[in-house]
């Protein structure tokens, strides 16, 4: 049996895992003191990198910057809208993250200097230095793409595409909807967060209307001609929601992109000139990377280009961008994708800091959507780094998708899979005990 050194013993006794101790001993490249990793954004991308780094090497100095004290997941928020989850069950704090030895700063990163390697915070404390920076700010909304839409208008016509107050507001407005009221949803153009999300939301609103307000109706205006898991959703719309959902996809004659809204009157107007007066409008506009990414010079157009091998930014050294903010096509923007990318980013940081070989990542995604009680469908696959038109991209391997006409048993099983995924994910991200599924 090999003898453990005094230093290894001290690390293990201090609570570090044997793996962490081992990795700590093989990183002469760090120089003096522990390496400083600063992470901007405490969603699934950022929180997952933080926890994985600490689990791999407890001696790393890991700081997570996130303005919200509580994170409401967009994933599973449609189930809250449908009445299958409570708001509390999709809202999580950072106490468990802190217990892992991660420094959580409740603040907003307002500037990043990628030359000086510093991050400035809103509340004006001294800028934070970093050895490696991870930027995971999620999305911002392009309000300006729809005339009359703005952060103010979103208080009346919620998008509910960022978790928290907006999610709650959409549900409150749904509860207050008069029976017989009209809901209008504007679906977003590609690329956007959670490709099946608007259609899962339509099913959940459909379920809510059938059970609570059967005379009300949902009209969807969509700027796209096709959408994710379309055959499955169309089957569900026909089977369950024929009387309450009308979906208008853009076609050769009509462009159903919503171009104008009036928050005072409830009017929603499409490019083809169709106008509806909504009692409740759910306007989901075009999207872009969270503002700090552009401010730091990490974007090209709306999103942040990255090397698909490891999600290092192509715009700045020692910086990673992951999750929804990154250009990860053909990988969809999902929490599952963000967490998969986080595993690769954490491994790459450790390898880089330890001067070990950095191997290209392998990724995975699955997106589940709830169609009706105990009835969910899924789409997913593995993703490998490749090149398309001279640019890096992630090529799907072994894709899978639920099929129309599947048995009730299989759909129940798929629902259960998604519920298990959610509970395991939030336990891993936020260090919580698994939540109760009941609303
Ligand atoms: C209705 C809906 C349903 C969905 N369902 C699913 C699903 O079933 N499965 C799935 O996998 N995905 C789903 N998604 C997608 C999923 O929510 C996102 O892909 C995921 O949250 C992206 O994670 P992220 O860490 O990149 O960004 P986010 O989750 O947005 O986290 C980013 C964090 O960064 C913080 N931040 C932003 N700017 C700054 C700054 N300057 N300084 C500090 N912090 C900052 C924000 O406050 C935020 O907490 C759904 C999305 C929606 C809208």
- Is residue 106 lining ligand 1, measured as CB closer than 6 Å? no
With CA atoms as reference, report the closest residue to 209 among 242, 234, 247: 242
Q: How far is the CA of 162 from the centre of ligand 1 (A)?
A: 7
The minimum-distance atom of ligand 1 relative to the CA of 369 is 8
The minimum-distance atom of ligand 1 relative to the CA of 107 is 43
Best substitution site from 118, 130, 137, 162 to test ligand 1's pocket, by max atoms within 8 Å of Cβ? 137
Q: How far is the CA of 324 from the centre of ligand 1 (A)?
A: 7
3-class secondary-structure state, position 389: coil
| Average confidence (pLDDT) over 256-284 | 98
Best substitution site from 68, 188, 290 to test ligand 1's pocket, by max atoms within 8 Å of Cβ? 290
Each residue of 362-374: pLDDT tens digit?
A: 999 999 999 999 9
Q: How far is the CA of 73 from the centre of ligand 1 (A)?
A: 7
Each residue of 66-81: pLDDT tens digit?
A: 999 999 999 999 999 9
Closest residue to atom 3 of ligand 1, CA basis? 75
| Average confidence (pLDDT) over 201-221 | 98
Band of residue 232 on the pLDDT scale cut at 50, 70, 90: very high
pLDDT at 139 over 60: yes
pLDDT at 32 over 90: no
pLDDT of residue 3: 36
Structure tokens at 221: 């205006």
pLDDT above 70 covers what percent of the chain? 91
Closest residue to atom 29 of ligand 1, CA basis? 43
Cα separation, 203 vs 201, in Å, equals: 5
C-alpha distances in Å from residue 381, one per residue of 27, 365, 366, 367, 394: 35, 6, 7, 10, 11
Band of residue 342 on the pLDDT scale cut at 50, 70, 90: very high
Q: Which residue has the higher pLDDT, 119 or 32?
A: 119
Cα separation, 423 vs 239, in Å, equals: 29
Q: Which residue has the higher pLDDT, 215 or 16?
A: 215
pLDDT at 38 over 60: yes
Band of residue 129 on the pLDDT scale cut at 50, 70, 90: very high
364, 394 Cβ separation under 8 angstroms: no
pLDDT at 2 over 60: no
Helix (H) or strand (E) holding 427: helix 408-430
| Average confidence (pLDDT) over 393-414 | 97
- Is residue 108 lining ligand 1, measured as CB closer than 6 Å? yes
Each residue of 78-118: pLDDT tens digit?
A: 999 999 999 999 999 999 999 999 999 999 999 999 999 99
- Is residue 40 lining ligand 1, measured as CB closer than 6 Å? yes
| Average confidence (pLDDT) over 384-399 | 92
Each residue of 256-269: pLDDT tens digit?
A: 999 999 999 999 99
pLDDT of residue 385: 97
pLDDT at 300 over 90: yes
pLDDT of residue 392: 82
Q: How far is the CA of 327 from the centre of ligand 1 (A)?
A: 15
Output the average pLDDT for the chain: 92
pLDDT at 438 over 60: no
pLDDT at 247 over 90: yes
pLDDT of residue 125: 77
Phi/psi for 433 (5° steps) reads: -70, 145
pLDDT of residue 10: 33
pLDDT of residue 391: 83
| Average confidence (pLDDT) over 411-425 | 97
Band of residue 389 on the pLDDT scale cut at 50, 70, 90: confident
pLDDT of residue 437: 52
Q: How far is the CA of 74 from the centre of ligand 1 (A)?
A: 7
Closest residue to atom 15 of ligand 1, CA basis? 334
- Is residue 137 lining ligand 1, measured as CB closer than 6 Å? yes
The minimum-distance atom of ligand 1 relative to the CA of 322 is 26
pLDDT of residue 12: 29
Cα separation, 439 vs 436, in Å, equals: 8
User: Worst-scoring range by mean pLDDT, 16-20, 85-89, 142-146, 167-171?
Assistant: 16-20
Closest residue to atom 26 of ligand 1, CA basis? 323
| Average confidence (pLDDT) over 323-338 | 97
| Average confidence (pLDDT) over 12-38 | 51
| Average confidence (pLDDT) over 10-24 | 36
Closest residue to atom 4 of ligand 1, CA basis? 75
364, 381 Cβ separation under 8 angstroms: yes
- Alpha helices of 354-407 — where are they, by DSSP H? none
Q: How far is the CA of 425 from the centre of ligand 1 (A)?
A: 13
- Is residue 368 lining ligand 1, measured as CB closer than 6 Å? yes
How far, in whole angstroms, is CA 180 from its chain's centroid?
33
pLDDT at 220 over 90: yes
Q: How far is the CA of 263 from the centre of ligand 1 (A)?
A: 26
Cα separation, 44 vs 430, in Å, equals: 9
pLDDT at 19 over 90: no
């Amino acid at each position: 049996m090999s003898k453990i050194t005094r230093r290894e013993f001290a690390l293990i006794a201090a609570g570090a895992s044997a793996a962490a101790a081992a990795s700590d001993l093989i990183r002469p490249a760090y120089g003096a003191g522990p390496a400083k990793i600063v992470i901007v954004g405490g969603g699934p991308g950022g929180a997952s990198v933080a926890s994985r780094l600490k689990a791999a090497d407890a001696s790393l100095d890991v700081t997570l910057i996130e303005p919200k004290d509580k994170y409401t997941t967009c994933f599973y928020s449609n189930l809250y809208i449908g009445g299958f989850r409570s708001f509390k069950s999709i809202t999580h704090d950072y106490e468990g993250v802190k217990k892992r030895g991660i420094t959580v700063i409740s603040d907003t990163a307002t500037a990043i200097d990628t030359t000086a390697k510093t991050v400035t915070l809103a509340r004006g404390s001294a800028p934070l230095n970093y050895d490696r920076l991870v930027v995971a700010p999620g999305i911002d909304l392009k309000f300006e793409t729809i005339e009359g839409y703005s952060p103010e208008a979103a208080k009346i016509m919620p998008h509910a595409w960022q978790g928290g107050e907006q999610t709650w507001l959409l549900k409150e407005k749904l509860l207050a909807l008069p029976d017989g009221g009209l809901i209008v949803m504007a679906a977003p153009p590609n690329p956007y967060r959670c490709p099946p999300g608007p259609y899962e939301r339509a099913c959940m609103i459909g379920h809510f209307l059938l059970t609570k307000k059967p005379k009300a109706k949902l009209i969807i205006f969509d700027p796209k001609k096709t959408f994710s898991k379309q055959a499955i959703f169309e089957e569900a719309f026909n089977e369950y929601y024929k009387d309450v959902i009308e979906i208008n996809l853009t076609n050769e004659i009509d462009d159903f992109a919503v171009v104008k809204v009036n928050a005072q009157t409830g009017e929603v107007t499409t490019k083809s000139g169709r106008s509806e007066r909504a009692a409740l409008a759910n306007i989901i506009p075009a999207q872009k990377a969270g503002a700090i990414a552009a401010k730091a010079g990490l974007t090209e157009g709306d999103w942040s280009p990255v090397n698909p091998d490891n999600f290092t930014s192509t715009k700045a050294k020692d910086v990673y961008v992951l999750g929804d903010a990154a250009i990860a096509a053909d990988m969809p923007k999902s929490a599952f994708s963000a967490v998969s990318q986080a595993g690769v980013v954490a491994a790459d940081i450790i390898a880089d800091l330890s001067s070990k070989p950095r191997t290209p990542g392998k990724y995975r995604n699955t997106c589940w959507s709830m169609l009706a009680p105990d009835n969910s469908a899924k789409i997913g696959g593995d993703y490998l780094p490749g090149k398309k038109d001279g640019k890096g991209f992630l090529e799907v391997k072994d894709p899978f998708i639920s099929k129309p006409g599947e048995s009730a048993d299989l759909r129940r099983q798929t629902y259960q899979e998604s519920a298990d995924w959610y509970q395991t994910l939030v336990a891993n991200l936020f260090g919580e005990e698994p939540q109760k599924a009941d609303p």
